[in-house]
Structure formats: C-alpha cells, structure tokens
Structure 1
Amino acid sequence: NYALSAQSLRGTDHKPNDVLLIPDGGNLASVIYRLKTSDERSYRRLLEHLRRVDPRIDLINFNVPSEDNVFMFFEDKAGNRLPAMNASSGTLRFLALTYILMGQPVGDLCPLLIIEEPENGIYVGFLKDLLDIAEAARQPSQLVFTSHSPYFIDLFDDRLDSVFFVKGGERHSTLSQPEPDEVRKRLESFPLGEQHFREMLA
C-alpha cells in the first residue's frame, strides 16, 4: 500500500540488493541504484519515462559513501548535477511511481499493489503517462489506484469496468461498482470526474 511522502523520497538509506520500494518511498535512491547496477535495460526504460517530466535529465548517478547511505543525483548533458534532495517532489514521485509500475520485480512478492492518490504533486498532464506505463508494464500483480482527483478519474472514461466507488459508513465502508451503461450515458454531459464530484456514482 503506497502513500509516498515527499520528504521520505529524498531519503539516503541504503541496503544492498534493495528491490521493493517501501510504502513511503524512503528507499527510492537505494532501489534505483540497484536497478541501474543490475538491470541496465530496465533502468534506461525508466529514464526515458522520467524525461517526459523533465527532458533536461540525461542520467541518474549516485554517490555511495558507505554501505548504509546512497545519494542520488540527476545530471543534464552538460554534467550539471541536481541532488535528489533538491529535486521537485513531482519529479521524485513520478520516478517512484514509474519504478513501482514497471521497474521493480513483483509477482509473488506483491500480489496486490495499492497506490494512494497518484496525482499528488504531479502535473495533471502527466497522469495519462502514468496510466499508460501501468498498462504497458502488464504487471502480474493486481493494481489498485485510490483517488479523489477528477483529472485522474477522467482517465477511466473508457475503462468503466475498472471503476469502483467506496462509501464510508459508521462501522464499515462499502465497495460498489457503478452501472457502466448508466455512467456511459451520462458521459455525454458529465465527464467521469465530474460525475464523482456530483456524487452521481454512488
């Protein structure tokens, strides 16, 4: 269950052969370092996706002063370095989400991936890129996004079979699926995100 923290994403904790990103993203530098040193092809694919957010990024490099710490840097083609701790939270969140969706080996390790509010800190124009990455990766895990953002919910206009609505109660929450045909009819007047805002999906 991922609830990424902007502060944690700037962490420097390192464990050899770190594979799974922890829920708050605190070992982001460590898992990207492992990816770069052990799977160059996957690292390059991840870097290509990251350039959608910031085309200036040419490389991701690292300084490993000890077994317990790793410092991540973004470099441009001129060799200028931007430490991860000074990078925008949007860039770090996009990197972390991309790693979760296509970079980290999961399978039996994570049969279910839940990502809370993927839109936080990310420019709305890049949300479709994240969804495209998720669909292209064909993860063996079941993937669940939770969101209140109409911009992110709008991306599911043509994926209505994947939309569920959670309604809180005094003792428990209920999970229901809006009737796809009814929702589809309303799409002519109201995008899916607006239907959620107007509480038409309950």
Structure 2
Amino acid sequence: MLKQVQIENYKSFASTKVVIQPFTVLVGPNGAGKSNFVDALRFVKDCLTNSLALAVQNRGGIKSVLRRSIEHQTDFGFRLLIELDSEDRADFSFEIATNNSGAFSVKREKCIVTKGESESHCYEVVNGTFKKGIEGIRPKIKPDHLALTVISAVEEFSPVYDFLSSMQFYSFVPDRIRQLQDKDAGLVLKHDGSNAAAVLREIQENKPDDYERLTRLLSLVAPSITKVEYTSIGQKETLSFKQDMGDTTPLSFEAISMSDGTLRALSILLAVYQSSSPSLIAIEEPEATIHPAALEILVDILFSGVYQSQILLTTHSPELLDDKDISLDNLLVVSLNQGKTEIRPIGKLSRKAYISHLATLGELLTAGELDIDAPQPNFSSNFFFKKEKVDKKK
C-alpha cells in the first residue's frame, strides 16, 4: 500500500507531503490540483514502464511538468513510501534535473527496501553512476531511464517495481466505450475504458463468480439492466446489454445505445473486478453523469475494492462526501494558494462542525466552508535523499 507521497516542483506542486489511506478521497474545486496529484503518480509509473523522455513528451514537454515560479526552479522530484506487506517497507525517490536548453535527465535515484526490523537493501544512483550499488550488478543506466527498471530483476526490489508499475489511473470517456473496440487481451482496463468489452470477456471467461457479482451490481446501479455481455463483431468487439422493457423477454442493446451514466458505472465495476488486480486504482470524478442513488452503490463497491487494491478518488461532489462510508480519515482537501497546490486533512473548524453534526461534509463543500489543516513546513530538494541508517546490507 502506498503510505506517503512527497512531490517537489511538479506542475502546481512546490513542495508537499501527502499521507494517504487504503481509501482516499481528494476533494476541492476545479483547478486546485487534484488531477495534478493523480498525474504525479502516473508520471512515476510512466517513467518506470517507458522512459523519462516519453513520460515528459506525453505531457507536452519539460515546461509543462516543471513548476513555473519566480524562483526559476530547474529540478523536480518524487518520493514514495510503500508498505509492501505486513513487515516489508520501501522508500523510493528520484530527482530530475533540467537546464535552460530544455534537456533533462535523472539526477538522483534511491531505493531502500527494509525487511522486518533489521534487514535492509539499498541502491543509489547519481547522474547515471551507482553511488551505492548491489553486489555483482553494475548495469549501465541511460540518462532518461530509472535504475529500478533494471534493478527490479533483483528479488528484493522486484516488489517495488511491481507495485508502482501496476498502479492504474482512470478518467472514463463514454464515447470511447461506445465505439467498436479493437481486439485486446482484456487483462488491464485502459485509462479511458476503451477496452471495456475485452475486460468483461476476460472476467466472464476466467472469473465467473466475479462476472455474476458484477452483473448483479450493475443491475442495482441501473435497475433496467438485467445482463451485460461481450460481443464479437468481425475484428472488433463491443458490449451488449440486456434491458427489461416490460416485455416477457429483455431486449438487447449495444453500447452505442447506452447512457453515459450506465457506461461509467460499468467501467468502475470493471476497474474493481479486472483480472490484473492493480496495486492502486485512481478514478477521477466517479460521480460524473451518475445519479446520486447509484453513486452510493458505487462507493460501496469501491470500498469493497480496498481488499484487493488501494483506492484513490478525486471529486467535488457533495453527494459523494455525504456517503455513509466516507469519514474524515478518508478525506484530503485540495486547495490552490498563490499558485501552489496544497493537500492536507480537513481543518479544525470543519472537523468540529462535522463532529458536532452542525453540517455534513457535503454541506460544508457546497457552502465553500471546507477548510484545510495547518500548513506543513517547507521541504528542500535534499529531503529526497537524506542518508538513512542501514542496519545490514545483503
């Protein structure tokens, strides 16, 4: 489970530390930086599974990811603390250096895996050279690649790579789900839901109990839907819905005829029940085009998903905040102050109003009175690479 994320000089973040829970909801107005936090995690994954160059290119270039400020920052970085299991922990960080010409490279990278109370394994790379290496392994690291991609072949570091590379991020696009879709293995749901048919097929064929559960839950969200199935059309594939229209036999409709809300709800279900079991599932604005009553059911389903995956949601929906499963511990407030995104727990005044039953979280959000906790101390780039005490190297 991802326990803590530290970000420096990435997009709207100056220097921040965020503690997240198994189920976390980021709430705040449009433009505050909720999506930037999700994208920071996605950026880490993209650097590992592709390259730094491609991750930057896909975001519009280095000027689009480096925070703009009067201080003219040239470096940005990330640090992630991960709970791998009940005893093992990982501390992974890296820093990117840039110059005036627009060139960039991995300046520093460090990973510490602690197993139990005393056994630790560590590597550190500075400007492509191992400052602290692993015995018998000295791979050549390209300037735009992270060492963990190669080091993951070592047993102790493999779980760190597996966790970070299996994080999945979703912003569902109903029009992409409606379209006839290319053939796909269906193991991992794409970020926009555009391979939903293949993912459903994979669940239907290999996880029949989950398929029956998914179908039943969809009928609760969209009561007229009695079944959803995979359909092959030549070299393409799509979804077919059975819908009760009051006749003795349900009528069949393809995805192109279904509402945005139904397609989004199905996509959320597929994200939870997909065969790949992501380490983390991040969904942006799950409430979009979904009826509040159906949203309550979906939040229940997402809560059930924490047994397999960590759940991260972004929202500005009062209805979602007022769900019976949402507590203060699940909530982080996102705000933008002087061009800098801050993410912190709910503030004392809002907390008191909520605990005293003076207002619900949704009412506080609607009234613009959802305040934020006291600010944290600032961090410098050195915080990524403080020297940790290693008890034993193996």
TM-score by length of 1: 0.87
Give the letter for the 2:353 counterpart. Answer: R
Change (3 A) 1:171 1:106: farther
Structure 2 CA distance for aligned equivalents of residues 39 and 7 of structure 1: 27
Q: From the CA coordinates, give the structure whose radius of gyration is larger.
A: 2
Change (3 A) 1:112 1:157: closer
Structure 1 CA distance for aligned equivalents of residues 275 and 228 of structure 2: 20
Give the letter for the 2:287 counterpart. Answer: E
Within the candidate set 169, 172, 192, 1:24 is matched to: 192
Asked if 1:189 is matched to 2:374, the reply is no
Deviations along 1:48-89, one digit per CA (max 9) or x if unpaired, are: 0000123332322333133x4112111246142111110111
5 Å-filtered alignment, 1:119-158, equals 119-155=287-323
Aligned equivalent of 1:113: 281
Change (3 A) 1:142 1:63: closer
Deviations along 1:89-121, one digit per CA (max 9) or x if unpaired, are: 1111111111112x11344xx322211111001
Deviations along 1:144-163, one digit per CA (max 9) or x if unpaired, are: 11000111111267511110
Change (3 A) 1:169 1:60: same
Structure 2 CA distance for aligned equivalents of residues 170 and 112 of structure 1: 31
Aligned equivalent of 2:162: none
Aligned equivalent of 1:200: 370
Deviation at 1:11, TM superposition (A): 2.6
Aligned equivalent of 2:172: 4
5 Å-filtered alignment, 1:17-96, equals 17-66=185-234, 68-76=235-243, 78-96=249-267
Structure 2 CA distance for aligned equivalents of residues 73 and 50 of structure 1: 13
Deviations along 1:14-36, one digit per CA (max 9) or x if unpaired, are: 33421211111111122112211
- Secondary structure of the corresponding residue to residue 60 of structure 1: strand
Structure 1 CA distance for aligned equivalents of residues 327 and 283 of structure 2: 18
Asked if 1:164 is matched to 2:332, the reply is yes
Change (3 A) 1:157 1:112: closer
Structure 1 CA distance for aligned equivalents of residues 267 and 241 of structure 2: 14
Change (3 A) 1:111 1:185: same
- Alpha carbons 1:119, 1:149 under 8 Å: kept: yes
Q: Which has the higher strand share?
A: 2
- Alpha carbons 1:157, 1:191 under 8 Å: kept: no
- Alpha carbons 1:106, 1:141 under 8 Å: kept: no
- Alpha carbons 2:222, 2:294 under 8 Å: kept: no
Within the candidate set 269, 274, 296, 1:104 is matched to: 274
TM-score by length of 2: 0.47
Structure 2 CA distance for aligned equivalents of residues 62 and 158 of structure 1: 34
Q: Which has the higher helix share?
A: 1
Deviations along 1:126-152, one digit per CA (max 9) or x if unpaired, are: 111111112223343321110001111
- Alpha carbons 1:157, 1:192 under 8 Å: kept: no
Percentage of matched positions with identical amino acids? 27
Give the letter for the 1:69 counterpart. Answer: K
Unmatched segments (≥5 aa) in structure 1: none
Structure 1 CA distance for aligned equivalents of residues 191 and 370 of structure 2: 32
Give the letter for the 1:70 counterpart. Answer: E
Unmatched segments (≥5 aa) in structure 2: 1-168, 373-394
Structure 2 CA distance for aligned equivalents of residues 58 and 128 of structure 1: 20
- Alpha carbons 1:12, 1:27 under 8 Å: kept: no
Higher RCO structure, 1 or 2 (CA under 8 Å, sep 6+): 2
